[in-house]
């Protein structure tokens, strides 16, 4: 595992327990220190975000508003209370939307954005040295495995696909890398079977509880990639 793959693995999952990641940390003190620092930062962020809200906070806020309104002008107290309730309701809706809504409504749109975000990281002429055993070790997280290689695999690593731990496979294509994402099913993100823009095409399949998303440039025959993946992938229930 090279340094770029190691760092991407740690950024994607600071508590990564993959055998290759553990071996890389044991072999290099600098990598082990980097992983430790990222994990500490992740814990600090989680702790900072974990701020308990008192059960009676809403009641206290409304009471304070009511008392202030009463002291200023009794005849406007009902208006102030109604305003406070409206604000609390609006804030609740906003928090709920930010917490549960996806940044992208369509997995195709997100797949394209993900590929463009990492454009230039992967070289189509890079040595394909990811072993079948290595990728199947990661595939086991998603209850799947490859019977045999479906192409020259340049990279295989976990990633965050719109916030969900997924698997990102990068294969050598005709002119540029072909990206394959194994993404657990998410009800709040719309499924798109085909998608494209001026440069890239994409296709999506569903196997059990996972989506398999393929993205390649206009020269790639994605239907053939889809067939190779379907014929050479086993999924367990």
Using CA atoms, how far apart are residues 136 and 142, in angstroms rounded to an integer?
Answer: 10
Query: What's the chain's Rg over C-alpha atoms?
Result: 24
Instruction: Identify which of 111, 148, 147, 150 has the alpha carbon closest to the alpha carbon of residue 229.
Output: 150
Strand partners, 184: 210
Joined tokens for residue 14: 């600071």
At 173-186, the pLDDT tens digits run: 999 999 999 999 87
Q: For position 73, what pLDDT does the model report?
A: 62
Of 159 and 85, more confident: 159
Longest dimension (CA), the chain: 78
State what percent of residues in the chain have pLDDT above 90. 39
pLDDT at position 103: 54
Count other Cβ atoms within 10 Å, centred on residue 37. Answer: 12
Q: Is the pLDDT of residue 95 over 50?
A: no
Q: Is the C-alpha dihedral spanning 230, 138, 100, 111 positive or negative? A: negative
Most confident region among 37-41, 127-131, 176-180 by mean pLDDT = 176-180
Residue 200, CA distances (Å) to 52, 138, 162, 193, 210 in order: 45, 26, 19, 14, 22
Quote the distance between the C-alpha of residue 192 and its chain's center.
17
29 versus 200: which is more confidently predicted?
200
* Distance (Å) of CA 125 to CA 147, 176, 206: 25, 9, 30
**Residues across the chain:** 237
The single residue listed with the structure tokens 């406007």 is 76
Asked whether residue 134 carries a pLDDT value surpassing 80, the answer given is yes
Residue of 22 and 93 predicted with greater confidence = 22
| pLDDT the model gives residue 60 | 62
Q: What is the pTM of this model?
A: 0.60
Neighbours of 169 (CB within 10 A): 25
For the CA atoms of 195, 201, 206, 209, the dihedral, rounded to the nearest 10 degrees, stands at -90
pLDDT range class, residue 71, cuts 50, 70, 90:
low
First to last CA, the chain: 30
Domain ranges of the chain: 3-49, 57-100, 107-235
Q: Is the pLDDT of residue 8 over 70?
A: yes
What is the predicted pLDDT for the residue at 64? 65
Residue range 54-78: mean pLDDT, rounded: 62
CATH dotted code for 107-235 = 3.30.200.100
Top-confidence residue, 113 or 237: 113
């Amino acid at each position: 595992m090279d340094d770029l793959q190691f760092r991407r693995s740690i950024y994607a999952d600071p508590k990564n327990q993959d055998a290759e990641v553990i071996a890389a940390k044991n072999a290099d003190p600098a990598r082990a220190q980097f992983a430790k620092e990222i994990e500490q930062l992740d814990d600090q962020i989680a702790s900072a975000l974990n701020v308990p809200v008192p059960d009676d906070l809403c009641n206290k806020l409304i009471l304070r508003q009511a008392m202030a309104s009463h002291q200023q002008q009794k005849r406007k107290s009902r208006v102030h209370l109604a305003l406070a309730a409206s604000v609390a309701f609006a804030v609740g809706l906003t928090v709920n939307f930010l917490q549960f809504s996806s940044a992208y409504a369509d997995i195709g749109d997100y797949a394209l954005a993900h590929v463009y975000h990492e454009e230039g990281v992967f070289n189509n002429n890079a040595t394909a040295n990811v072993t079948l055993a290595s990728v199947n070790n990661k595939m086991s997280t998603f209850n799947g495995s490859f019977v045999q290689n479906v192409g020259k695999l340049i990279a295989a690593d976990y990633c965050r696909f719109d916030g969900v731990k997924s698997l990102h496979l990068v294969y050598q294509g005709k002119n540029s890398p072909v990206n394959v994402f194994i993404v657990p099913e998410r009800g709040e993100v719309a499924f798109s079977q085909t998608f494209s823009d001026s440069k890239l095409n994409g296709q999506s399949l569903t196997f059990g509880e996972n989506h398999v998303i393929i993205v390649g440039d206009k020269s790639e025959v994605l239907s053939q990639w889809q067939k190779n993946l379907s014929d050479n992938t086993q999924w367990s229930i």
